[in-house]
Amino acid sequence: MAPNASNLPGLSGLSDLSGPSDSADAADTVVLIPIRSFDDAKSRLAGALSVEDRRQLARAMAEVVVRAALGLPVWIVTENAEVTEWAPTVDALAVAVDRTGLTSSVSTATQVASDHGFARAIIAHSDLPYAVDLTIVDGPGLAIAPDRRRDGSNVLSVPTGAGFRFAYGPGSFHAHLAEADRLGLAVDVIDIPGLAWDVDDPDDLPADWAELIARNRTRAGKTRASQSSQPGEADHGAS
């Protein structure tokens, strides 16, 4: 069963590449959320949801995760044009790292974050419908929130300059613990139901998934209407 929605709500964002803000709250941490695309999201849900519903659910869950950054700067790590256009609508920055594969993309984005003055990066999957607070995944070394099977790494944070070797895929939780041991990093395991619940299979769907999709469609429609009402190049004729 999914976590109790009364305690872990689903659906109910920043900075640029110049580096961390001067505020005490956000000073040196950036949140990285890798998203390959919305088009091919969650193919294992095909038996339960239509292609369009899977797209909308993926966007809705990604919005939840962005909001769970609680004001920290958020970088959406992507090479996808649609995701790049979506990022500013949730007050996030799209960062293209010219890499394929989750491990390679996260490794490069973490190095970019270090180069821009961020001392710490929180890396979060985008399919966490009950995420409320990513900032609790923190510590002096590796802090990691595994999935409920204690196999994957739903959210983790590391010092950007530690030379941490990411290893996403099956068994990544234990691989990341081993990497922290190699580097001599302290480890904090964060067991929080709202961060442990990711969505891979139909049984993982949040009970209110239909509401999440409906809300996301409403927001997307309002965003498109707002954008279409703004003067643009089309108002001045083709060049």
- What is the 3-class SS of the chain, one letter each residue? CCCCCCCCCCCCCCCCCCCCCCCCCCCCEEEEEECCCCCCCCHHHCCCCCHHHHHHHHHHHHHHHHHCCCCCCEEEECCCHHHHHHHHHHCCEEECCCCCCHHHHHHHHHHHHHHCCCCEEEEECCCCCCCCCCCCCCCCCEEEEECCCCCCEEEEEEECCCCCCCCCCCCHHHHHHHHHHHHCCCEEECCCHHHHCCCCCHHHCCCCHHHHHHHHHHHHHHHHHHHHCCCCHHHHCCC
| Domain assignment present for 37 | yes
In a domain, 20, yes or no: no
The answer to whether residue 3 is domain-embedded is no
Read off the pLDDT of residues 61-71 as tens digits, 9 standing for 90 and up: 999 999 999 99
Do the domain assignments include residue 216?
Answer: yes
| CATH assignment of the domain containing 158 | 3.90.550.10
What pTM does this model have?
0.79
Q: What is the pLDDT of residues 103-129, one digit of tens each?
A: 999 999 999 999 999 999 999 999 999
Please report whether residue 136 resides in a domain. Answer: yes
Number of domains in the chain: 1
Residue 103: which domain range? Answer: 29-223
Residue 42 falls within a domain, yes or no?
yes
- Residues of the chain below pLDDT 50: 1-18, 21-26, 224, 232-239
Confirm whether 181 is domain-assigned: yes
Q: Is residue 203 one of the residues assigned to a domain? A: yes
